[in-house]
């Protein structure tokens, strides 16, 4: 029985529409239709295919998760071998690479295409007449494993190329697309959260999680662990419009076929351009959505690439410039306990020194007792240490297969290792705390260190060593004592030269002129960070109204809930704390007091300034996209100056989202939650600047 033409046509329409919506949703992060509408299209397609099974083709979006679990993967021969890249770890190796390239080509300066080096797994996708035929791992470079069924579940891999015959443009008859499959950091966090909830083993890092998902024999499991594919090149291609001149054009072409390619790609000149790019990517590494382990440089001209050719298994025209490894294995020698500012006892791993993330690491945080239990860390274990960027190194996993028989479990102590006071763990809390309060020198030191820190009172030169000396010699017991220090007292300390003593006294003097928000933050009240301190200062306008407020009144402050209100009230109930505040004021610590924002808005309702102020005061803003007239920071300052708050994430409590050019997913979230969206002009109007 022949199938009516309109059904064939409708199926095609639905498939094209779903592919386009997948692209908008997964790749551009800008869904064009609501989820429910998308589900409707998908269901309609599923139903049509169910009643006309002869029309089901492998490139249909309904077939992404298909087939049953495999027994093993079969082998795939790569028509173009999947080679590796030569590595460079420092500036001189990069300069030597550029020198060799210039010499071989007989040029003074060479153009390079530059990209991040994705930390995932190399993949080759074969398209035949525009349809995905196979997807394979790299294997030994010549023969890989056929993981097509799993790769079909990856939404960023087109099942059908845009230029397929039906679409008008001619796709290559045959094409190998090369790239890397990885797990985005956000998807990794979600997966591990799910693993934790199900009491299943967590993955060490996104790369391990991606590898595990890709090699799942059951595509349904693979589909549940979201992977993403980034393309970085083309192997063999036959016919079609594949660019044959420059690598950056190849990447643009791949993007036009709806492959994801790194946004951070670029074209630079010479070794200086390469090093500058490496430095910039390194500085932005943490904010990328995926892990990278370096940058990749490729001679941009494909003709020049061919001239340069290959040595053994790596091209002479390309180089991987690696960042120092962020993970390393070492031995856990002991677990110590550190006392923090609020008395929290933090277990700290004492490690056999290991070079990781560019420095030698000997200590790593273990967070708390539960974390140690969860990871089953024992003294004597071999562990994997991670140091990403400037964050505190942490233990991510234990290599249990190497566990010595005498490895010892950790037991949290019930006294403070510094002052000997009782240490207690309250029900529902993860942390054990020293009950010594400011009697405990460790807490005292931390409290003063915090008080003097850059974002608090900003006392230049008053670092950890000096504070330790000051507290140990009993010259300083409370922050107020800092303002009573004289040159004679400082001179009694070891290794303090006259000149640095004078400088420190000057810095202490200078810190007296401060703001209310900084002062509140400097007090080190539990649960009161910088933002809350700013909220409090803005709301109360002065310190005395804040001291007078009870828990209920404190909860009136926008964004302050019962827990934070309780911490503030507890702190201000302590006579000792009030005394220190009074002493600080008596020593000359001062700030400008103003009207609290709530009262300011009520006080002058009809003046036009306060009209704007009341539109902004107490309101929460989120900024997304590029602002043309107000650079982001400027916008933030202006909003804050008018009494508003600027936050990083959109929630139901957000009052306005300000969307500049090319806004990100925050814009979508705003639309989804029905939050008012302003453009830049709208914000300027609200600020009274238009
Ligand atoms: S180009 C001839 N570009 O690095 C080799 N490779 O050692 C062409 N990799 O496992 C490779 N990001 O999968 C290239 N932007 C990038 C890359 C990249 C990661 C991986 C590649 C392979 C390894 C090469």
Q: Residue 687 C-alpha to ligand 1 middle, in angstroms? A: 49
CATH of the domain at 171: 3.30.470.30
Best residue among 122, 259, 316 to mutate for probing ligand 1, ranked by most atoms within 8 Å of CB: 122
User: Is the domain of 502 the same as that of 619?
Assistant: no
Compute and round to an integer the Cα radius of gyration of the chain. 31
The answer to whether the CB of 597 falls within 8 A of the CB of 612 is no
User: Is the domain of 581 the same as that of 647?
Assistant: no
From the CB of 122, is ligand 1 less than 6 Å away?
yes
Q: Residue 617 C-alpha to ligand 1 middle, in angstroms? A: 51
The answer to whether the CB of 61 falls within 8 A of the CB of 45 is yes
From the CB of 117, is ligand 1 less than 6 Å away?
yes
**Which residue, among 463, 498, 499, 505, has the nearest Cα to 482 in the 3D structure?**
505
Domain limits for position 678: 600-687
Nearest atom in ligand 1 to 315's CA:
2
Q: Residue 131 C-alpha to ligand 1 middle, in angstroms? A: 24
Nearest atom in ligand 1 to 180's CA:
13
User: Is the domain of 524 the same as that of 619?
Assistant: no
Rounded to whole angstroms, the Cα distance separating 334 from 395 reads 13
CATH of the domain at 486: 1.10.150.20
CATH of the domain at 394: 2.40.50.140
CATH of the domain at 34: 1.10.287.610
User: Is the domain of 474 the same as that of 604?
Assistant: no
Residue nearest to atom 16 of ligand 1 (CA): 117
**Which residue, among 140, 120, 263, 248, has the nearest Cα to 181 in the 3D structure?**
120
The DSSP string of 23-45 is IIIIISS--SS-HHHHHHHHHHH
* Residue 68 resides in a domain: no
Q: Is residue 169 helix, strand or coil?
A: coil
* Residue 70 resides in a domain: no
**Which residue, among 629, 680, 688, 687, has the nearest Cα to 659 in the 3D structure?**
680
User: Is the domain of 137 the same as that of 123?
Assistant: yes
SS3 readout for 480-531 = HHHCCCCHHHHHCCCCCCHHHHHHHHHHHHHCCECCHHHHHHHCCCCCCCHH
From the CB of 81, is ligand 1 less than 6 Å away?
no
User: Is the domain of 253 the same as that of 140?
Assistant: yes
Rounded to whole angstroms, the Cα distance separating 317 from 315 reads 5
Residue nearest to atom 17 of ligand 1 (CA): 117
- Among 347, 382, 409, the domain boundary falls at 409
Place of tokens 């809390």: 429
- Among 286, 302, 322, the domain boundary falls at 322
From the CB of 113, is ligand 1 less than 6 Å away?
no
From the CB of 180, is ligand 1 less than 6 Å away?
yes
User: Is the domain of 561 the same as that of 633?
Assistant: no
* Residue 418 resides in a domain: no
From the CB of 233, is ligand 1 less than 6 Å away?
yes
* Residue 69 resides in a domain: no
Nearest atom in ligand 1 to 115's CA:
15
From the CB of 84, is ligand 1 less than 6 Å away?
yes
CA distances from 65 to 148, 416, 672 (A): 11, 55, 28
CA distances from 629 to 439, 623, 632, 687 (A): 53, 14, 9, 13
Rounded to whole angstroms, the Cα distance separating 433 from 368 reads 11
Q: Which two tokens stand for residue 317?
A: 């025209």
CATH of the domain at 653: 3.40.50.10190
Could you tell me which residues come within 8 angstroms of residue 431 by beta carbon, excluding any fewer than 6 positions away? Answer: 344, 345, 346, 368, 425
Distance of alpha carbon 553 from its chain centroid, rounded? 36
Q: Residue 292 C-alpha to ligand 1 middle, in angstroms? A: 11
- Among 306, 322, 338, the domain boundary falls at 322
The answer to whether the CB of 554 falls within 8 A of the CB of 535 is no
Best residue among 88, 115, 117, 260 to mutate for probing ligand 1, ranked by most atoms within 8 Å of CB: 117
Rounded to whole angstroms, the Cα distance separating 446 from 456 reads 13
503-506: Cβ within 8 A, 24+ apart: 503/460, 503/461, 504/459, 504/461, 504/462, 504/466
Query: In which element (H, E) is residue 187 found?
Result: helix 185-197
Rounded to whole angstroms, the Cα distance separating 289 from 284 reads 10
Mean pLDDT by runs of 10 across the 690 residues of the chain is: 87 90 73 76 90 86 66 85 89 96 97 97 94 91 90 93 64 94 94 89 86 83 88 92 94 94 96 97 91 96 95 89 88 94 91 89 91 93 85 87 94 92 86 85 92 94 90 91 91 81 93 95 92 92 91 90 90 86 94 70 38 70 80 80 83 84 78 80 76
Q: Residue 257 C-alpha to ligand 1 middle, in angstroms? A: 20
* Residue 416 resides in a domain: no
User: Is the domain of 181 the same as that of 304?
Assistant: yes
Q: Residue 490 C-alpha to ligand 1 middle, in angstroms? A: 58
Residue nearest to atom 23 of ligand 1 (CA): 84
Q: Residue 635 C-alpha to ligand 1 middle, in angstroms? A: 40
Sign of the four-CA dihedral 563, 568, 572, 576: positive
Best residue among 82, 182, 232, 293 to mutate for probing ligand 1, ranked by most atoms within 8 Å of CB: 232
CA angle 98, 102, 106 (to 5 degrees): 175
Which residues are annotated as catalytic?
A: 117
pLDDT the model gives residue 134: 95
Q: Is residue 535 helix, strand or coil?
A: helix
Report DSSP state, residue 537. Answer: H
Q: Provide the 10 A C-beta neighbour count for residue 669.
A: 17
Nearest atom in ligand 1 to 87's CA:
7
Q: Is residue 613 helix, strand or coil?
A: helix
* Residue 477 resides in a domain: yes
How many domains does one find in the chain?
5
SS3 readout for 289-331 = CCCEEEEEEEECEHHHHHHHCEECCEECCEEEEECCCCEEEEE
Nearest atom in ligand 1 to 179's CA:
13
**Residue 386 bridge partners (DSSP):** 327, 394
From the CB of 296, is ligand 1 less than 6 Å away?
yes
pLDDT the model gives residue 603: 34
Best residue among 85, 206, 267 to mutate for probing ligand 1, ranked by most atoms within 8 Å of CB: 85
User: Is the domain of 554 the same as that of 486?
Assistant: yes
Rounded to whole angstroms, the Cα distance separating 215 from 473 reads 61
Rounded to whole angstroms, the Cα distance separating 113 from 301 reads 9
* Residue 422 resides in a domain: no
From the CB of 489, is ligand 1 less than 6 Å away?
no
Residue nearest to atom 10 of ligand 1 (CA): 122
Sign of the four-CA dihedral 568, 573, 574, 579: positive
* 103 exposure class (CB count in 10 Å sphere: 0-12, 13-18, 19+): exposed
Rounded to whole angstroms, the Cα distance separating 313 from 323 reads 22
Residue nearest to atom 1 of ligand 1 (CA): 232
Could you tell me which residues come within 8 angstroms of residue 198 by beta carbon, excluding any fewer than 6 positions away? Answer: none
From the CB of 315, is ligand 1 less than 6 Å away?
yes
Alpha-carbon torsion angle 433, 434, 437, 441, nearest 10: -130
From the CB of 229, is ligand 1 less than 6 Å away?
no
CA distances from 29 to 24, 141, 252 (A): 6, 34, 19
User: Is the domain of 629 the same as that of 657?
Assistant: yes
From the CB of 320, is ligand 1 less than 6 Å away?
yes
User: Is the domain of 344 the same as that of 206?
Assistant: no
Q: Residue 117 C-alpha to ligand 1 middle, in angstroms? A: 7
CA distances from 341 to 107, 136, 507 (A): 60, 53, 23
Q: Residue 84 C-alpha to ligand 1 middle, in angstroms? A: 7
Nearest atom in ligand 1 to 117's CA:
12
Q: Residue 217 C-alpha to ligand 1 middle, in angstroms? A: 25
From the CB of 290, is ligand 1 less than 6 Å away?
no
Could you tell me which residues come within 8 angstroms of residue 575 by beta carbon, excluding any fewer than 6 positions away? Answer: none
Q: Residue 622 C-alpha to ligand 1 middle, in angstroms? A: 37
* Residue 528 resides in a domain: yes
Rounded to whole angstroms, the Cα distance separating 165 from 129 reads 8
User: Is the domain of 257 the same as that of 315?
Assistant: yes
From the CB of 118, is ligand 1 less than 6 Å away?
yes
pLDDT the model gives residue 71: 63
Q: Is residue 532 helix, strand or coil?
A: helix
Q: Residue 132 C-alpha to ligand 1 middle, in angstroms? A: 21
pLDDT the model gives residue 584: 95
Residue nearest to atom 18 of ligand 1 (CA): 117
Nearest atom in ligand 1 to 138's CA:
10
């Amino acid at each position: 029985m022949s199938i009516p033409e309109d059904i064939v046509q409708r199926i095609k329409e639905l498939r094209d529409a779903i592919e386009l919506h997948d692209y908008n949703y997964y790749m551009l992060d800008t869904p064009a239709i609501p989820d429910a509408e998308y589900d409707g299209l998908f269901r309609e397609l599923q139903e049509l295919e169910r009643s006309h099974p002869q029309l089901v083709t492998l490139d249909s979006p309904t077939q992404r998760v298909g087939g049953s679990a495999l027994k093993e993967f079969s082998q795939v021969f790569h028509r173009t071998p999947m080679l590796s890249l030569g590595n460079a770890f420092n500036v001189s190796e990069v300069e030597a690479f550029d020198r060799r390239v210039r010499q071989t080509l007989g040029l003074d300066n060479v153009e390079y295409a530059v990209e991040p080096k994705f930390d995932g797994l190399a993949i080759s996708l074969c398209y035949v007449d525009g349809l995905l035929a196979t997807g394979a791992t790299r294997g030994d470079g010549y023969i890989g494993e056929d993981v097509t069924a799993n790769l079909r579940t990856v939404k960023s891999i087109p099942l059908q190329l845009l230029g397929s015959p039906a679409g008008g443009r001619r796709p290559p008859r045959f094409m190998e697309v090369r790239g890397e499959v990885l797990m985005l950091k956000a998807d990794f966090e979600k997966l591990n959260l799910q693993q934790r909830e199900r009491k299943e083993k967590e993955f060490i890092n996104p790369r391990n999680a991606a590898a595990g998902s890709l090699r799942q024999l059951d595509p349904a499991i693979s589909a549940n662990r979201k992977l993403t594919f980034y393309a970085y090149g083309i192997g063999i291609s036959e016919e079609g419009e594949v660019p044959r001149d420059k690598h950056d054009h190849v990447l643009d072409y791949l993007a036009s076929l709806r492959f994801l390619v790194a946004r951070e790609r670029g074209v630079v000149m010479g070794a200086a351009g390469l090093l500058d790019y490496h430095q910039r990517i390194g500085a932005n590494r943490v904010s990328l959505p995926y892990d990278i382990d370096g940058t990749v440089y490729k001679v941009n001209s494909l003709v020049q690439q061919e001239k340069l050719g290959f040595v053994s298994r790596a091209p002479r025209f390309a180089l991987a410039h690696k960042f120092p490894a962020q993970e390393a294995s070492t031995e856990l020698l002991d677990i110590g306990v550190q006392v923090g500012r609020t008395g929290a006892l933090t277990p700290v791993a004492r490690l056999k020194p290991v070079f990781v993330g560019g420095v030698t690491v000997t200590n790593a945080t273990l967070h708390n007792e539960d974390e140690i239990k969860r990871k089953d860390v024992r003294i004597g274990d071999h562990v994997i240490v991670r140091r990403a960027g400037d964050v505190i190194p942490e233990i991510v996993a234990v290599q249990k297969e190497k566990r010595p028989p005498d490895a010892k479990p950790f037991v949290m102590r019930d006294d403070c290792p510094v002052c000997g006071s009782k240490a207690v763990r309250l029900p529902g809390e993860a942390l054990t705390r020293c009950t010594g309060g400011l009697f405990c020198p460790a807490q005292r030191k931390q409290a003063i260190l915090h008080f003097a820190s850059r974002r608090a009172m900003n006392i230049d030169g008053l670092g950890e060593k000096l504070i330790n000396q000051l507290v140990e010699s009993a010259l300083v017991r409370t922050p107020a004592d800092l303002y009573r220090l004289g040159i004679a007292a400082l001179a009694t300390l070891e290794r303090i030269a006259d000149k640095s003593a004078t400088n420190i006294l000057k810095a202490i003097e200078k810190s007296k002129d401060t703001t209310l928000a900084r002062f509140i933050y400097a007090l080190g009240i539990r649960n009161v960070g910088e933002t809350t301190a700013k909220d409090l200062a803005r709301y109360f306008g002065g310190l005395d109204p804040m001291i007078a407020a009870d828990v209920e009144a404190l909860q009136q402050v926008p964004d302050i809930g019962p827990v934070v209100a309780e911490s503030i009230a507890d702190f201000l109930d302590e006579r000792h704390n009030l005394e220190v505040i009074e002493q600080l004021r008596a020593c000359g610590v001062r700030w400008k007091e103003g009207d609290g924002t709530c009262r300011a808005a009520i006080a002058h309702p009809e003046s036009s300034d306060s009209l704007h102020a009341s539109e902004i005061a107490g309101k929460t803003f989120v900024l997304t996209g590029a602002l043309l007239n107000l650079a982001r920071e400027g916008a933030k300052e202006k909003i804050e100056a008018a009494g508003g708050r600027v936050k990083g994430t959109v929630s139901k409590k957000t009052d306005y989202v300000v969307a500049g050019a090319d806004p990100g997913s925050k814009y979508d979230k705003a639309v989804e939650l029905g939050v008012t969206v302003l453009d830049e002009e709208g914000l300027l109007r609200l600020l009274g600047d238009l």
